[in-house]
Amino acid sequence: MHLSELTHPNQLHGLSIFQLQQIARQIREKHLQTVAAIGGHLGPGLGVVELTLALYQTLDLDRDKVIWDVGHQAYPHKLITGRYADFHTLRQKDGVAGYLKRCESKFDHFGAGHASTSISAALGMALARDAKGEDFKVAAVIGDGALTGGMALEAINHAGHLPKTNLIVVLNDNEMSISPNVGAIPRYLNKMRLSPPVQFLTDNLEEQMKNMPFSPELSRLKEGMKRLAVPKVGAVFEELGFTYMGPVDGHNLEELIATFKEAHKHPGPVLVHVATVKGKGYAIAEQDQVGYHAQTPFNLATGKAIPSSKPKPPSYSKVFGETLSKLAENNPRIIGITAAMATGTGLDIFQKRVPQQYMDVGIAEQHAVTLAAGLACEGMRPVATIYSTFLQRAYDQIVHDVCIQNLPVFFCMDRAGIVGSDGPTHQGMYDIAYLRSIPNMVLMAPKDEAELQRMLVTGINHTSSPISMRYPRGNGYGVPLMEEGWEELPIGKGEILRQGDDLLMIGYGSMVYPAMQTAEILSEHGIEASVINARFAKPLDEELILPLAQKIGRVVTLEEGCLPGGFGSAIAESLMDAGVVVPVTRIGVPDILVDHATPDESKAALGLTPPQMADRILKTFVKEGSAIAVL
């Protein structure tokens, strides 16, 4: 059978080990060819090919459910569930999603882009199954990196308390999330990887003792002997109420199939510990597991990225990492904190330059925020560097542990706004709305990478309250940067970039330059606009904005974030509270989910390109009887 003929995972039933190995080879070939051509996640999927095939051969996927954590490790799952023919459209507009989506396939039982959700969701499905008197298997596949997230541990705690609820947790242990895992749990799992399989020992005890007459004393003896048979490093999951099986070679199909078949026979929660290699089957990815977690288009033979047609300015993340490192070298109180995203946030630069001031807490955003609060209590300058979409996971900690206590934690939100091919789970749409409603929080956003440098200094020096800075994914504008000597900005003060009497445009962060471009297009139509770089969404520069709004009489706000509760809402509320009654047009992301596409494609679909915005403004204000029309 060829991979292209696999449209339903039940077609794996009855295939020989040799046939499965052939399918595994074809999955890796298709995966590598696709990502090499268009970019995307690479290492996670390559590491779970055999795991996927073995698990699915032991299940009836017309009934049974597999819940994948995060989702980018599920590319082999996609290739054997009817998406082979469209796999070349991976992460492209209107193509196959880079993560799991319930609306994409009946086999995607739970959507996932953030980590640590699978065990909770799978347990919920198992409990619903039991409540309805149904009979099907539920398995959660979770990486060891995601196991560092508190939500996964909460789910394990709950599941282990339900001895009659059948659930299988498959721990895909490759010692990595994006970067090498940190903390006590990965260290514990590493010990387990180095230990021999233990299930045969406990099975042997069961066999020898099953015909002995029951007594409470014998039962206690039996359990005690099982504990002695299970190496100390494997006892924790057993103590938590799980039947532990493993570690199993994650690339040995025979061993995997036998283990999964045995796991299905055990009542209650079972944890199957599978040791895999991230990037398996592509030597270059195996040797550089961080670099090949995800890749831009690259040459399969050499592994080298296909060079861009022209050099690009440095990314915001790189400017952030370089500047924060420079500041930290002269200030030992600065502590850079990441939740397993050092390379994505630029803190890998910080780690190399000032390792003693760097903290990686694993995929644990809630802990990261309250850790920062504790550091701030003792006079340190914690910089919690977390993607906008991931900071959502720590909202209660921002409110309860930081803002209520008015602690000077500096939140730096990378990937704010439209992020592109990762899709709805990763779009940084909501941070303006979810932060500006909290008392004591200051919100700022730079118009370019040079202003980011100044805002970094501003945030470090601001010690009277929490403060946050959002900045976009991707490259800056190529504006001149400084090596040192950056001046801080006055809190709550914007700047006028362009003068005009017909329209007031107020841009925030990444939309300031597009606002200037839009103003130039409007000028060609005889409309002269003033443009303000707001810099701050909270507090607003009302001394600057309100008089100009009153004088000009027409206001347009521009933001790369959700309109409900966002920056435009803040401006409208400020005008209303001050009694300045003027028409306000808010330009941003409407109340919809933004699907995967390139950022440019998403902006065009949302009407956020300068020509589109100019056209909208003209249609809004230039009409018969309007003030502009009679100028």
Give the catalytic positions in this structure.
278, 365, 393
Q: Rounded CA gap, 175 and 247, in Å?
A: 13
Written as one letter, the residue type at 375 is: L
Cα–Cα distances in Å, from 594 out to 31, 120, 473?
A: 25, 26, 15
- Would you give the end-to-end CA distance of the chain in angstroms? 73
Query: How many residues does this entry show for the chain?
Result: 631
What is the spatial distance between Cα 78 and Cα 258, in angstroms, rounded to a whole number?
24
Sign of the alpha-carbon torsion through 189, 195, 200, 204: negative
DSSP state of 238: H
Number of Cβ within 10 Å of residue 249's Cβ equals: 16
Contact yes or no for 28/281 (Cβ under 8 A): yes
CA distance 511 to 534: 10
Alpha-carbon torsion (257, 262, 268, 272), positive or negative? negative
- What are the residues whose beta carbons fall under 8 Å from the beta carbon of 389, sequence distance 6 or more? 114, 415, 419, 425, 426, 427, 428
**Strands 65-68, 138-143: pairing kind:** parallel
E strands within 290-365?
294-295, 334-338, 358-360
Which three-class secondary structure state does DSSP give residue 403?
A: helix
Q: Mind giving me the DSSP string for 57-112?
A: HTS-TTT-EEEESSSGGGHHHHHTTT-TTTGGGTTSTTS--SSB-TTT-TT--S-B
DSSP string, 125-157: HHHHHHHTT----EEEEEETTGGGSHHHHHHHH
Question: Residue 497 phi/psi, 5° resolution?
Answer: -100, -20
Structure-token pair, residue 460: 């470090």
Cβ neighbours of residue 482 closer than 8 Å, sequence gap 6 or more? 450, 453
- What are 544's two structure tokens? 């600057």
Q: Angle at Cα 140 formed by Cα 134 and Cα 146, nearest 5°?
A: 150
Partners of 271 in beta bridges: 169, 244
At 275, give phi and psi (nearest 5°).
-90, 115
DSSP letter, residue 181: P
* Residue 344 CB coordination number (10 Å): 21
For residue 379, which phi and psi values (nearest 5 degrees)? 85, 5
Note the maximum CA span of the chain.
100
